[in-house]
Amino acid sequence: MIGFDPLYFLMLGPALLLSIYAQLRVKSAYAKYRDMPNTGNRSGREVAEQLLRTRNLDVQIEEVSGWLSDHYDPSARTLRLSPDVYHGRSVTAAGIAAHEAGHALQHAEGYFPMHVRQTMAPVTMVASNLSFVVIFLGFIMSAMGLIKLGILAFTLVVVFQIVTLPVEFNASSRAKILLGQYNIVSGDAAKGVAKVLDAAALTYVAAALSSILTLVYYLFRAGLLGGRSDD
């Protein structure tokens, strides 16, 4: 496992290819529908405001710098939109704004997978930063206890990635339904929203697959999954 290991790239190859494909789809869909106006000609901010208003949610909407930096912060009850989405009146802007509003609706309704993800987030961040270092040191020192501890920490990352999938899929599903229900998009615009959101969802699938295969690799190299420990 230390240094260059062809097995690592062989095992992670499918996830890497899927990740590249997903990113290309996101960029393609984003660019294609960025210039197509949404049916209601509303800005992303206006779309989010309308959808939040349907549930009487007290959620702030802010502009944040960056590209595709859009997110909902449940701790601050704030929906943050990138400039293109915040000001944009395109199909892309409407879809992304509605998706983030979908997360706010999940939060308000106590959507269980979102609650689990939110609870896991702080611990997962620490586990993500430390797991590789602990596993690496475990192999250097031939310390199986450290290796197992690192693998256990990385397992939290895998669970977090898996829990993220229903959260993101559900937010996209809500977005598609609400955008059509309130006539913000229809016809070709609705199809465009679906393509933008489906492409974005694929990036989460790629991330989950990558984390799962990485865990399998660690287990194999540690001799815990039919492999041989690199002691």
> For position 227, what pLDDT does the model report?
56
pLDDT, tens digit, for every residue of 115-132? Answer: 999 999 999 999 999 999
Q: pLDDT band for 7, please (50, 70, 90 cuts).
A: confident
Strand, helix or coil for residue 157: helix
Is the pLDDT assigned to residue 1 strictly greater than 60?
Answer: no
In a domain, 38, yes or no: yes
Q: Which of 192, 37, 224, 161 is nearest to 46 (CA)?
A: 37
- At residue 228, the pLDDT reads 57
Which residues have CB under 8 Å from 164's CB, separation 6+?
117, 204, 207, 208
Instruction: Decide if 226 is inside a domain.
Output: no
100 lies in some domain = yes
Looking at the chain, list the stretches that DSSP marks H as alpha helix, in order from N- to C-terminal side: 6-34, 44-53, 83-87, 91-109, 112-140, 144-181, 188-221
Handedness of CA 156, 157, 161, 167 (dihedral sign): positive
pLDDT at residue 5, as a whole number = 78
Handedness of CA 100, 43, 23, 78 (dihedral sign): negative
Taking the CB of residue 76, how many other CB atoms lie within 10 A of it?
11
- Residue 20 domain-assigned? yes
At 18-74, the pLDDT tens digits run 999 999 999 999 999 999 999 889 999 999 999 999 999 999 999 999 988 999 999
Supply the pLDDT for residue 11. 86
Computed on alpha carbons and rounded to an integer, the radius of gyration of the chain in Å comes to 20
Tell the residue number behind the tokens 């602990």, with chain if given: 134
Catalytic residue among 46, 49, 62, 100: 100
Mean pLDDT of all residues in 94-111: 97
Beta strands 60-63; 71-73: pairing state: unpaired
How large is the average pLDDT for residues 138-162? 96
Angle at 43 between CA 39 and CA 46, to 5 degrees: 100
Let me know if 168 is a catalytic residue. Answer: no
Is residue 229 situated within a structural domain? no
Q: Is residue 228 part of a domain?
A: no
The angle formed by the CA atoms of residues 175, 180 and 182, to the nearest 5 degrees, is 95
Do 111 and 183 touch, CB atoms closer than 8 A? no
For the stretch 178-228, pLDDT in tens is 999 999 999 999 999 999 999 999 999 999 999 999 999 999 988 887 755
Q: Is the pLDDT of residue 134 over 80?
A: yes
Report how many domains make up the chain: 1
How much is the pLDDT for 229?
56
pTM: 0.91
- Size (the chain), residues: 231
Q: Examine residue 230 and state whether it is found in any structural domain, yes or no.
A: no
Per-residue confidence (pLDDT) for residue 8, from 0 to 100: 82
For residue 108, the tally of other CB atoms under 10 A from its CB is 16
Residue 84 domain boundaries: 6-221
Across 146-170, average pLDDT? 97
DSSP state of 224: S
pLDDT at 67: 87
Report if residue 122 sits inside a domain: yes
